[in-house]
Amino acid sequence: MYSPSKLLSLAVLAAGLSACGGGSDGGKKPTPTTSSSPGSSSTSSVIATSAAVSSGPVSSALASSSASSVGEGELAQAAVDYSTYSVAELDNCGMNISAADKTFALFADYDNAAQNQSLTALKFSGWNHTTNGNTAEWANLKHTPATYNFTATTQANESCNGVDTLDVVLVKKIADWDRQHANGFEREILAHGYTFGSIENLVVDVKINSAKTSVPSVDSLKTIYANYVSAGTVEALDEGKVNVDITLHDGANLHAKAIVQLDQTTYADRWVRVTIPMNKFSFYEEINYNRTAKTQADLNSVVIKRMLVVGETKKGTVLRGNINPWTSNVPETFKEMDLSFKKFEFQLK
């Protein structure tokens, strides 16, 4: 049951970038756009686009970006604009919240109304390649393979007033494109009939948990890969921060993609709201590994089949495309990002 008048609204800014797949951009192995199972190695279906993630805010906090609260209810602070998305810290996370008008919650728990939700029932699914038995491939991970499982049941989160959260440690390879997205999850939403043109914003409430987050610094990557690539290549690939790739697509060839970058030194163990205007996503069509840029207008009437979420590098690629010849002796390193998601929500037009 949703509480009647305790409601939260936020209007903010932007996002755009990349997650799996192939390309000539020096880091992606071409892979099919769709896969029969999210657990297959071809899950890496998302292609890097030409948009770039901002490395820092391009404007001061937006006074116009605010949230309403009731009493001691949840409140979003003024948002910081990162050009293609915005980030606002949340006060009183999870208190006195309800669904706003003209929204669709892909995942949310309002005022503890839906504890221990079954993600399977919500048509979420996930995969974890680190349990494939190849210990050499995953030797440099910080934790045991089971740590990176997708868990089908949510848990009440004490850091957010006991609301249910989807918790996962997302893993992204730095060097090799094979199983570059070691794990991830998706939600099927085709039956709801939402089109790319019916969405104003995608809103994501998320917390970086410092406990199991381990992201290599740029300087450490330069040292590790000094014999393979230039320092400039490493600098272009990543900034040593948390990156989450969110892709919406039609189940075939049409995609809308955004990569959000969060600085864990600033946001670790804090709840934040990320708002991504739909018109700031990167739109494209991929056929036989060839990408063609599209606009939102091109996809306005196309129904979205699923949302895919993976960990990423800033650039959305790996180093392998810049290492020639590639050999099994190239060391592998990983970005490990311990995240709790409180909400994925469409704000509708």
pLDDT in tens, 28-76: 443 333 333 333 333 333 333 333 333 344 433 333 333 443 458 999 9
pLDDT digits (tens, 9 = 90+) for 258-283: 999 999 999 999 999 999 999 999 99
- The two tokens of residue 228 are 């393979």
* pLDDT of the residue at 59: 35
Element (H, E) at 264: helix 264-267
Backbone angles phi, psi at 107, to 5 degrees: -155, 130
Q: What is the mean pLDDT of the chain?
A: 84
* pLDDT of the residue at 209: 98
pLDDT digits (tens, 9 = 90+) for 233-246: 999 999 999 999 99
Confidence tier at 78 by pLDDT (50, 70, 90)? very high
Backbone angles phi, psi at 340, to 5 degrees: -115, 125
- Chain centroid, CA 322 distance in Å: 25
Give residue 132's identity as a one-letter amino acid code: N
| Residue 311 contacts residue 229 (beta carbons within 8 Å) | no
Radius of gyration of the chain (CA): 19
Euclidean distance between CA atoms 132 and 232, whole angstroms: 33
> Which among 324, 329, 316 has a CA at the least distance from the CA of 22?
316
Instruction: Kindly tell me if the per-residue pLDDT of 183 is higher than 50.
Output: yes
* pLDDT of the residue at 71: 55
